[in-house]
Chain A
C-alpha cells in the first residue's frame, strides 16, 4: 500500500471541495477500497473520509417511500422496520450480501460504488482494461465462469458485485448526488453504465461527485430477492434476481419489476421480461415467456453458458413463488 493523505470532511460541501483534486477519493466503510489499496489496484493520494457525515438517517418521504442517507450501514438498513415492511426485497438483498462483519461497516453509498471482483481486475500483474485502459481483457479467453452474459463488450466482461444495487434497480430508486456544480438526482438503474469501450468508468458519476442519499419510490411489499451462490454465505452472486409484483385478484399481472445480478456490468433491469408480464396471467407459461424474452439475447462466454439456463429456471421459480 502506498502512502496517502487522509482527511475527514466536516460537511458534504467540504467533502466535495476536498475531493475535487486529482488523486482524491472518498472513504466510507472502506470494505472494498482498502482491499484494493492493499492490492495496488487503486492508489489514491488522498482519502476524504465521509463515513461520519450526517448522512445516516432513514426518513419517510411524502409518497410513502424512504430517503436513506448514504452513510447508513448495510446492517442497519437491512433490519430497519420500514424496509422490512415496505421493501422486503431490499432487506433480503442486503442480508444476502457479504458477511455480518462487512455489513456492519459497509455503507449504502459505498455499496453502490463497489468495484467488480473479476480476478484480472484485482491482479496488478496482469492486463485489465478497467484498471489500465487499453491493456486488454484476459478474462474473455481466460477465467470468466462468474462473469457477464449480458451487455458485455470486447473490452470488458466484468459483473457488478452488489446485491443491494440489484434490489434498488428493481425498486426504482433515485440517487442524490452533490457535485462541483451542485445537487442532482440520478435514477437507478442509470447510475451504473455498461462497459462499452470505456470499462474504466463503472458509473456516470463525475470526479468529486458525492452520493448523499438514496430515495426509494412506491413501496414494494410483494417482493423478493433470490441469490444463487457457490457457498451458503459470504460469496458473490453467481446469479440473483430481485422481483416485485403487483397482481390483480383475477391473477393478472398488473406490473412486475425485475432486476438481475451476477449477469452484467450493471444491476440488470429486466425490461423485456417486465414487458412480457404486463397484463399477462400469472402462470408458469407467462413466466417462461418472460424469462425467455430476457435471456434469449444473452451472449454467454465459453465457460459461463450455464448461467443462461440457471437464470431462466431461477427466474421462473422466483416469479411463480412471488405471484402465487
Chain B
C-alpha cells in the first residue's frame, strides 16, 4: 500500500475550528440562522404498551402561537425504512413509554412546549414487560448481531472442554442500561425547498442520513440534503437519523415553514438509543499453568418491539485469546422498552468487561499474575478466522504499561493494603477494537490563491476529524496545513463513512489522500476520488487495535465509596496522526469507561416502564473531582496493511477494558468480586 509521508501527520495540531467553537461562531444544527422558523415540541407516551384511544388537540390549538398539532390522526403518510423508530405518527400503537406520539408546532419554542403539555391523549394500556432477566421465557436467537456478525460461533466443543479442564471459571456478569448523553441534545432544522428537503441535523454521518430520510419521505436521494457542520458529541446515538430528524421535516411540511426541533435531555432517555443491559455468562477452562483450553461466552440482551438491535457483545471473545474449543452466543428478548442502539464500542465494551473480569478471576484461580496469564494465551493467528493479524501489540502494551505503572512490585494478595480507612488495589485489563474502513468520496480543489479546499462528507463530532483530515491532506499535497481548508458535514459532498466504528479517519483519510494525490498529479483544477475499489482490494488479514489499561482504586472501608487516583492506558493503534486529539480521545473514552464502571446506570422504573433517572442531576457521570491522574500513551506500531496513513481508529478502544480494570482493582483492594456494574458503594457493602 502506498503510504503518505510528511510533517503534518504526527504533529500536535490544535483543532482547526477551535477558535470558532470557543467564540460561539460555530453554528450547530439548531442555531442555523434561518428566517421564519417555527418550533416543534414532541408529545411522548405516558404508557409503556398499548394503544392510543383518542388524541384531543383542542386545548393545544387554542393556545396563542400554536400552528398545528400532528399525530397519527393527521400526519402525512411516510415511506418505508428499516428503522421503525423513524416512522412517526403512522400508527396508534405505543411501544414504550416516552415514544413520540404527537407533536405541536408553534411560533416559539415556549408555545410549542406549552402546547405539547396541553395535548390530551386517552390510552388503552396493556400490561408491560420491561425487565431483562436471565429466566425470561421469550429469549430468541437473532439472525445476526450488529451490524452483520454471526449470532453464535462454535469451534470444537467448549462445554465439554470446560467440563474436563483443570481450572474452571464459570461466572455471570451483569451490566445496566446506560445512555450516551452527548452534551448537545439531538436537534434538527428542516426546510422544504422546491421539491426537496434540506435538513440541518446533529448527526454522525450526512451521507447515510440522506438515503434514510429519502426512504422515509419517499423521495429520490438527490432531493435530500443533510448538513451537519458541528456536532456536540454523539457516541453512537447520532449515528443515524433519530426521530427528531423526521419530526422536524414532517412539521416543516405541515406548516410550510422551516421548523426547529431540539429534544430535551429527558426525551433523550427514550428516543435516541442507549446501551442494552447485558447478562453474560463466561466459562473458561484452563490448565493449571493458566493456558486456556476452552472459552464460552453467552450474552443475554434486550431490544424493543419497534426495531431489533442485537448488540454484538461476545464478538471480541472470538478473537482475543488462543484456546482450541470456543463458543459464543447471543440471545435477545424484545421488551416494551425504548430501542437500544450504538453506544461507544457496542459489543466490545460490555463484552470485554465480562471477559477481562473472568480472565482476572482465572489468574487468581491459577495463582498467576494477570499480565503473565494474558501473555501465555496470546494467539499466533486470529483464533476465529485462522488468518494473521496485520499487527497485534497486546503484549507490548501490557509490558509497557506494567513498566510505567509499577506493576512489578504488586502483591497479588487481595485486601492487603490500607491507608487509614482506605483499602488500596490495582487492576489490569486488555482493550481491543476492530479496524474498519468504508468507501468514501473526496474532492480536492486548487483555489485562486494556491490554497486547497478539500470536501468530504465527514463528521466532526468533537473528535478532531476536521483537524486530522487537514493534516492528512497537507502531507498528501506536500504543503502546510495552513494551506488546506477542509469542508465536511454535507451530503452534497458524496458518499462517505459515518463517524462510527472508529473508522472515520481511516475511511475519510484514504479518500482525502487519494484525492489530494490526484490533484497534485494534475497540478491544477479539482479532483474527485472514490475509494471503493481500493478498499475492496485490501488483503485478507485480521485487523484490530489492542491496548492495556491499568487502574488503582481506593475503597473506603466504612462506606464502600470508590475513588480512582490513577488510570493508565497503553495502546497499539498504528500511527497516531495527532497526539493532542488522540490523547483527548483516549482519556475521554477511559473516563467514560470509569463512568460505566462506577456511576452510570439508567434505572428502569418497573411500574411505569421508563428510565426513571432521566436527567444529568440523577444520572451520574464523572465530575472533575472523580478524575485524578489519567494518562494515555501508545507503543510504536508500524502497520503497512491498514491505509495510506498507517493508522487504526482510536475513538472507541479507550472505553474497552476500563470497567474490567476497575472491577479487578476493586477485587484486589477488598477481596470482593463485584460482578455487576456499576460498582456502587452498596454493591461493595452487601
Contacts and interface: CB of A to CB of B under 8 A. Distances in A.
Contact of A232 (B117, B559, B623): B623
Interface string A228-263: 111111110011000000000000000000000000
Contacts of B680: 230
A11 interface: no
Interface stretch (A15-23, A64-72, A306-314): A306-314
B46, B556, B599, B618: residue with the most chain A Cβ atoms closer than 10 Å: B618
Interface string A211-243: 000000000000000001111111100110000
B155 interface: no
B7 interface: no
Interface string B593-637: 000001100010111100011100110101111100000000000
Given A143-B612, A230-B680, A231-B620, A310 B46 contact: no
A132 interface: no
Contacts of B563: 232
A228 B617 contact: no
Q: Identify whether the interface residues of B are mostly helix, strand, loop, or mixed.
A: loop
Interface in A78-103: 99
A201 interface: no
Contact of B605 (A40, A142, A234): A142
A258 to B, nearest CB: 16
A187 interface: no
Interface in A1-49: 1-2, 35, 40
B623 A314 contact: no
A126 B608 contact: yes
A313 B558 contact: yes
A310 B560 contact: yes
B558 A317 contact: yes
A230 B625 CA distance: 12
Interface in B39-65: 46
A141 B608 CA distance: 11
Given A119-B612, A231-B623, A314-B558, A306 B599 contact: no
A314 B560 CA distance: 10
A207 interface: no
Interface in B296-339: none
B25 interface: no
Contact of A228 (B559, B607, B608): B559
Contacts of A313: 557-559
B612 A232 contact: no
Contacts of B603: 119, 143
A117 B625 contact: no
A55 B632 CA distance: 50
Interface in B645-683: 680-682
Contact of B681 (A40, A230, A233): A230
B561 interface: yes
Contacts of B607: 138, 141-142
A290 to B, nearest CB: 15
Nearest to B561: A228
A1 B682 CA distance: 36
Contact of B620 (A141, A230, A309): A230
Given A1-B110, A138-B608, A232-B625, A306 B686 contact: yes
Nearest to B605: A142
B114 A239 contact: no
A313 B685 CA distance: 11
B110, B114, B626: residue with the most chain A Cβ atoms closer than 10 Å: B626
A281 B52 CA distance: 68
Contacts of A117: 617-618
A237 to B, nearest CB: 11
A207 to B, nearest CB: 26
Contacts of A2: 114
A206 interface: no
B117, B559, B613, B626: residue with the most chain A Cβ atoms closer than 10 Å: B559
Nearest to B684: A306
A320 B356 CA distance: 40
A310 B612 contact: no
Categorize the interface residue count of chain B.
35 or more
Interface in B537-567: 556-561, 563
A255 B561 CA distance: 30
A81 to B, nearest CB: 25
Contacts of A126: 605, 608
B410 interface: no
Contacts of A181: none
A119 B681 contact: no
A183 interface: no
B19 interface: no
B558 A234 contact: no
A231 B558 contact: no
Contacts of B613: 119, 143
Given A142-B606, A231-B622, A232-B623, A40 B561 contact: no
Given A142-B607, A229-B561, A233-B625, A310 B620 contact: no
Given A1-B110, A228-B561, A232-B563, A317 B612 contact: no
Nearest to A119: B612
Interface in A99-129: 99, 117, 119-120, 122-123, 125-126
Contact of A310 (B110, B605, B624, B685): B685
Contacts of B685: 306, 309-310
B203 to A, nearest CB: 27
Nearest to A233: B625
B349 to A, nearest CB: 20
A316 B557 CA distance: 12
A231 B625 CA distance: 8
A126 B421 CA distance: 41
A119 B558 CA distance: 27
Contact of B623 (A119, A234, A238, A239): A234
Interface in B423-464: none
A40 B264 CA distance: 14
Contacts of B626: 231-233
Nearest to A124: B117
A272 interface: no
Contacts of A239: 559
A198 interface: no
A145 interface: yes
A306 to B, nearest CB: 4
Contacts of A230: 599, 620, 680-681
Contacts of B606: 142
B421, B561, B624: residue with the most chain A Cβ atoms closer than 10 Å: B561
18 contacts: A117-B618, A119-B612, A141-B607, A142-B605, A145-B682, A228-B559, A230-B620, A231-B623, A232-B563, A233-B623, A238-B681, A239-B559, A306-B685, A310-B681, A313-B557, A314-B558, A314-B559, A316-B558
8 nearest A-B pairs in the assembled complex, by CB-CB distance: A232-B625, A233-B625, A306-B682, A313-B558, A228-B559, A232-B626, A119-B612, A317-B558
Interface of A: 1-2, 35, 40, 99, 117, 119-120, 122-123, 125-126, 138, 141-143, 145, 228-235, 238-239, 306, 309-310, 313-314, 316-317
Given A119-B612, A228-B561, 19 more contacts: A119-B603, A119-B613, A123-B612, A125-B46, A125-B608, A126-B605, A126-B608, A138-B607, A142-B607, A142-B608, A143-B605, A231-B598, A231-B623, A232-B625, A233-B625, A233-B626, A238-B681, A309-B685, A313-B557
